[in-house]
Amino acid sequence: MLVVRIELHRKLGETKVKTKEKLIEQVQRLLEERSQKSLEIAKKEILQEKRECKEINDAFMYYVKNWNDVVHPGLISIACEAAGGSVDKAIPIQVVMLLLTAALDIHDDIIDESKTKYGKPTVFGRFGKDISLLVGDAFLMKALILLHKLEKQFSTEKMNAIWNIINSRFFELGDAEALEASLKGNIDISPEECFKILKMKASTFEAHMRIGAIIGGGEQDIVDLIGNYGRGLGILVSIREDFIDVFEPEELKNRVRNECLPLPILYAFKNPQTKKIILDYLSKREISDKDAERIVDIIFEEENVEMFRNEVERLAEEVCNSISSIPNKNLVSQMEVLIKSVIEDL
């Protein structure tokens, strides 16, 4: 999720919390306005198919009921307008990318064995591996069918560019997932190696914004600029997710079993004494809320983690500076707000 969680920092002052809440509301409203139409269309597209299996139908209904991805279509809309295009022109490709991203989301939960996400059961957690795999496949097929139909709406040049971006950036994501899967249970992985994988996974954010800029009719330099912004934003979002996972015992335990450890923990591990203390907590069968709080306190006291947080702030500043040449200053302001919301209180 791009939108940050209020509870991330327990030590915020009241004024700062209110400022943060306003920023979150601003970002949420911005993305919802740009995503509402495409999300409604995507839901109708996936539900219109008739299926004999009741459990499959239930799984589709469950996913659609909880499907509120305003981030990816919102980014396409912003990119399209930043490149000089009309936001309505982006709706068909928003629908396609919503379906494609949903397929990847469902498959990713299967790989990571994520039974819950954001406090709710995933399709995998509720319906099991076989049903969730079939549901993910259906989303993928629907996305490809609709993408093929778009060839009648856009020029051959634009469609070739879009196909090439999907091919290169989403295969990069697959490569990152494979690398991450090979490192399951490895507590000695360096934060630099994990960060490399994280940067590769940010390829999907870049893809969405590049495609939006192409639909908007941007010249190649603008497409590159907006795409690079997307990559930077994706990196920052993933970093924030890693910080959030440290605060949630259930998700942290799943990371220990099925994924790489969150980056803040890996940076804290650079101190051998800190590594030993944290591993004692992580080796428990269950990580309690109190254990998680203690892990958080230990991590945020580490100098290496503080240095990493400073690097994140520098990256955010670079990303914001990179879009200063975009003519539409209102869009520049919105894109800066997205970055600020991601790094708030890290």
- pLDDT digits (tens), the chain, 346 positions: 344 333 344 333 444 445 556 667 778 888 999 999 999 999 999 999 878 899 999 999 999 999 999 999 999 999 999 999 999 999 999 999 999 999 999 999 998 888 988 778 999 999 999 999 999 999 999 999 999 999 889 999 999 999 999 999 999 999 998 998 888 878 889 999 999 999 999 999 999 999 999 999 999 999 999 999 999 999 999 999 999 888 887 778 778 777 889 999 999 999 999 999 999 988 888 888 888 889 899 999 999 999 999 999 999 999 999 999 998 888 898 899 899 888 887 7
Q: What is the pLDDT of residues 199-224, one digit of tens each?
A: 999 999 999 999 999 999 999 999 99
From the list 72, 217, 100, 236, the residue with the least C-alpha distance to 166 is 100
**What one-character-per-residue DSSP string does 43-87 give?**
HHHHHSS--S-HHHHHHHHHHHHT----HHHHHHHHHHHHTT--G
Number of C-beta neighbours around residue 40 at 10 A = 11
Nearest to 123 by CA among 60, 167, 42: 60
Q: What is the pLDDT of residue 226?
A: 97
Q: Residue 185: what pLDDT?
A: 78
Tell whether pTM > 0.95.
no
What pLDDT, on a 0 to 100 scale, did the predictor assign at position 23? 66
Are 339 and 237 a contacting pair, CB within 8 Å?
A: no
- Domains, the chain, in order of start with CATH, read 9-343 (1.10.600.10)
Residue (of 100, 85, 98, 101) closest to 35 by Cα position? 98
Q: Which pLDDT value is given to residue 93?
A: 97
270 DSSP assignment: T
* Residue 11 zone, left/alpha/beta (φ > 0; ψ -120 to 50; rest): alpha
pLDDT tens digits, one per residue of 111-160? 888 898 877 899 999 999 999 999 999 999 999 999 999 988 999 999 99
pLDDT at 105: 94
Token pair of 62 as six digits: 């469950």
State how far the Cα of 50 lies from the Cα of 64, in Å rounded to an integer: 15
The pLDDT of residue 11:
36
